[in-house]
């Protein structure tokens, strides 16, 4: 298993705490706010906002929070001026990492991100230093245990406009062009295939095998980054197929 998919599986394996739930809600709210800020508050005309709302609902984000986040984004309510910023660097084992953030204070955010990299013996790079190793893609996850006919699911995904289909353990991964993500997701739902998650992802072109002694340090770095209030997502090009979840 490689990259972000492996990390998500490990996070699902580990028990969630109330504090982490609060961090998740903060990230969901910021994505809704940013989507509304950039594309307007009408979900029918803003695919990014529709995806953000769907993600919030799937994680039980209260309706009031969703509505308030939209109004913050459109300026109907006054809140902090949030902006997007992306940082790139290398973690343990030479793994390339991309850190997507939303922040009202970039100076604070870059200092926090650099500190986490330094503590893990990694280093923060310059813009473009690792992003060329990734492709931006839409990714839709389907529960393989629910849709047991893999061939039929793959055929439906391709007919709905997907450019690729694969299986990763108990998850089907449907890959799309970024602009087609919501259209493919909606077409699949019309056929009865309801996704567990859909997002724009940074997919590594190639992966880096990580030595067993570096795996725990790498995942601690990713977790530490994701626990920062300003960090939305962390993407990596790591391959840890031999990692034992019990050791993490």
For 13-37, the pLDDT digits (tens) are 344 445 566 788 999 999 999 999 9
| Statement: 83-132+206-239 belongs to CATH 3.40.50.1100 | no
CA atoms of 110 and 96, how far apart (whole Å): 17
Tokens representing 183 are 């259209």
Where in the chain are the domains? 13-74, 83-132+206-239, 136-195
Half-sphere exposure of 92 (CA within 13 A, CB side): 18
pLDDT of residue 9: 52
**Pairing label, strands 134-143, 83-90:** unpaired
Tokens representing 117 are 């990299």
Which CATH number is correct for 136-195, 3.20.20.150, 3.40.50.1100, 1.50.10.100, 3.30.70.980? 3.30.70.980
pLDDT of residue 19: 57
Q: Are 237 and 133 in contact (CB under 8 A)?
A: yes
φ and ψ at residue 86, rounded to 5 degrees? -120, 135
Low-confidence ranges of the chain (pLDDT < 70): 1-21, 241-248
Q: Are 234 and 97 in contact (CB under 8 A)?
A: yes
Same fold, 13-74 and 136-195: no
pLDDT of residue 185: 96
pTM over 0.85: yes
Whole-Å CA distances, 119 to 61, 91, 92, 181? 33, 10, 11, 36
| Statement: 13-74 belongs to CATH 1.20.1250.20 | no
Q: How far is CA 89 from the centre of its chain?
A: 17
């Amino acid at each position: 298993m490689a990259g972000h998919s492996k990390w998500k599986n490990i996070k699902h394996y580990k028990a969630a705490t109330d504090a982490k739930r609060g961090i998740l809600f903060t990230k969901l709210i910021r994505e809704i706010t940013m989507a509304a800020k950039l594309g307007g508050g009408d979900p029918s005309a803003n695919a990014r906002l529709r995806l953000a709302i769907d993600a919030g609902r799937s994680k039980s984000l209260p309706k009031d929070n969703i509505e308030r986040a939209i109004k913050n984004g459109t300026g109907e309510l006054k809140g902090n001026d949030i902006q997007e910023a992306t940082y790139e660097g290398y973690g343990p084992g030479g793994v390339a990492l991309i850190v997507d953030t939303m922040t009202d204070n970039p100076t604070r955010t870059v200092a926090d991100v650099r500190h986490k990299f330094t503590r893990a013996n990694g280093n923060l790079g310059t813009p473009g230093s690792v992003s060329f190793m990734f492709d931006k893609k839409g990714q839709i996850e389907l529960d393989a245990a629910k849709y047991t006919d893999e061939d039929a699911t793959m055929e439906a995904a391709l007919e709905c406009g997907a450019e690729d289909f694969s299986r990763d353990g108990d998850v089907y991964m449907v890959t799309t062009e970024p602009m087609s993500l919501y259209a493919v997701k909606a077409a699949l739902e019309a056929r009865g295939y309801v996704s567990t998650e859909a997002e724009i992802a940074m997919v590594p072109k190639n992966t880096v095998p990580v030595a067993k002694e570096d795996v725990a340090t790498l995942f601690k770095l990713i977790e530490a980054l994701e626990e920062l209030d300003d960090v939305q997502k962390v993407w990596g090009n790591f391959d840890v197929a031999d990692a034992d979840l019990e050791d993490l």
